[in-house]
Amino acid sequence: MRLLTNDGTHDEMRPLVQLKAIFSKQLPKMPPEYIVRLVFDRKHVSLALFKGSMGKGKVVGGICFRPCVKQRFAEIAFCAVTATEQVKGFGTLLMNHLKQCVKTRDVRWFLTYADNYAIGYFEKQGFCREQTIKKEQWDGYLKDYDGATLLQCEIHSEIDYTDTKGMLRRQKENIYRMLAEKLGAKVVHDGTKEGHRLDDPFDVPGVQSAGWTKEFVERIESEQRAITSLQSQLKSILDDLMNTKFVWPYLKEVDAEKYPEYRNVVKDPIDLNIIRARLESGVYYTTKRIFRDEIKLMCENCKLFNVNPLSQYHMTALKVEEFVMPRLAAIDI
């Protein structure tokens, strides 16, 4: 793994040319001239992953980024791994090394416009749609891309990103230790006899005495099934809402620059981008009421800021409520 910048030397240019070829191939929608311009631009840096020895090895992937140190963020311009090496963990390895590397430059956020089909990868690297970086901090420093989603990843200085496996192992050990202390789990049961097959997990020595019962497990499973079913119905309502003509004011957060007084009036802003991300997380909307309250809050916010009932914004709020509430009421969970 090596950081590369265009300093005009053969040593840097050779791998940069290889990396540019990978970006061009893996990101066919990006104009090749644009990729060349950014990869060889001296404000951009690329982290390249080599296969084979560093000097003679071949570049198999990389991330091209532009650090905005004053603004404390770095924009990821391109990220790709050569086709034959994808889904082997190299993309994760690259991102972890990049986090570790920018940490020392006091960069606290990554921002990137991700292609929709790569969002899954970025989410697994800790990127999300919700932003903790203030818009004023990046506005005007980032190029807008059509058909791409702006994602953010916060970088924590206390994490050693090159040792994520060790960190997870230690966390797991700590959780087990704390649980054992809390549950007073000091009894060590004999294991099952070798070759003896158990058909019922409740026959495993210690399972029942630890308080597990079939009824309890069935209840948890049935609750989980109900939540999954609820969320799929909420998704369908949200998808239908997104296709209506009156939903446009709610698709993104209200532009604080355009409406500077908005944050003074609306104390708890929310929009459909946030609601969708929460729904996609699978853990947030565990009841219909939580979802309903957030849609209601979104509409109330709109009415509060646009008090005139005849204003087009106020009217869209009424329409959203009219659209969503009966559909929610019809969900039988």
Could you say which of 89, 166, 201, 282 contacts ligand ACO (CB under 6 A)? Answer: 89
- Among positions 7-26, residues that touch ligand ACO (CB under 6 A) are 26
91 binds ligand ACO, rule: CB under 6 A:
yes
- Cα distance between residue 224 and residue 227, in whole Å: 5
Residue from 37, 58, 92, 228 in contact with ligand ACO (CB under 6 A): 92
Pick the closer one to ligand ACO by CB: 26 or 311. 26
C-beta of 233: minimal distance to ligand ACO in Å?
25
Map residues 103-122 to x or -, x wherever contact with ligand ACO holds by CB under 6 A: ---------x-xx-xx-xx-
Q: How far is the CB of 123 from ligand ACO (least distance, A)?
A: 8
Member of 42, 87, 197, 211 binding ligand ACO (CB under 6 A): 87
The single residue among 39, 59, 81, 238 that binds ligand ACO, judged by CB under 6 A, is: 81
Which residue, 124 or 289, is less far from ligand ACO as judged by CB?
Answer: 124
Q: Using CA of residue 269, residue 273, residue 276, residue 282, what is the dihedral sign?
A: negative
Measured from the CB atom, the residue of 117 and 146 that comes closer to ligand ACO is 117
Restricting to residues 24-63, which ones interact with ligand ACO according to CB under 6 A?
A: 26-27
Binding test (CB under 6 A) with ligand ACO, winner from 50, 65, 73, 90: 90
In the chain, the amino acid numbered 271 is D
Q: What positions carry a catalytic annotation?
A: 75
What's the CA gap between 191 and 200, in Å, rounded?
Answer: 15
Taking contact as CB under 6 A, which single stretch among the options 85-93, 186-194, 293-301, 304-312 is the one that binds ligand ACO? Answer: 85-93
Among 68, 79, 302, 317, binds ligand ACO (CB under 6 A): 79
- Least Å distance, CB 59 to ligand ACO, is 13
Nearer to ligand ACO, 119 or 328 (CB): 119
Choose which of 37, 51, 88, 263 interacts with ligand ACO (CB under 6 A): 88
The one among 38, 49, 68, 76 contacting ligand ACO by CB under 6 A: 76
How far are the Cα atoms of 10, 45, 52 from residue 16, in angstroms, in the given order? 10, 10, 16
Assign 3-class secondary structure to the chain. CEEECCCCCHHHHHHHHHHHHHHHHHCCCCCHHHHHHHHCCCCCEEEEEEECCCCCCEEEEEEEEEEECCCCEEEEEEEEECHHHCCCCHHHHHHHHHHHHHHCCCCCEEEEEEEHHHHHHHHHCCCECCCCCCHHHHCCCCCCCCCEEEEEEECCCCCCHHHHHHHHHHHHHHHHHHHHHHHCCCCCCCCCCCCCCCCCHHHCCCCCCCCCCHHHHHHHHHHHHHHHHHHHHHHHHHHHHHCCCCCHHHCCCCCCCCCCCHHHHCCCCCCHHHHHHHHHHCCCCCCHHHHHHHHHHHHHHHHHHCCCCCCHHHHHHHHHHHHHHHHHHHCCC
Residue list 256-295, contact with ligand ACO (CB under 6 A): none
Closest approach of ligand ACO to the CB of residue 262, in Å = 30
> Of 75-83, 158-166, 293-301, 312-320, which part binds ligand ACO (CB under 6 A)?
75-83
Residues binding ligand ACO (CB under 6 A): 26-27, 76, 78-81, 86-92, 112, 114-115, 117-118, 120-121, 124
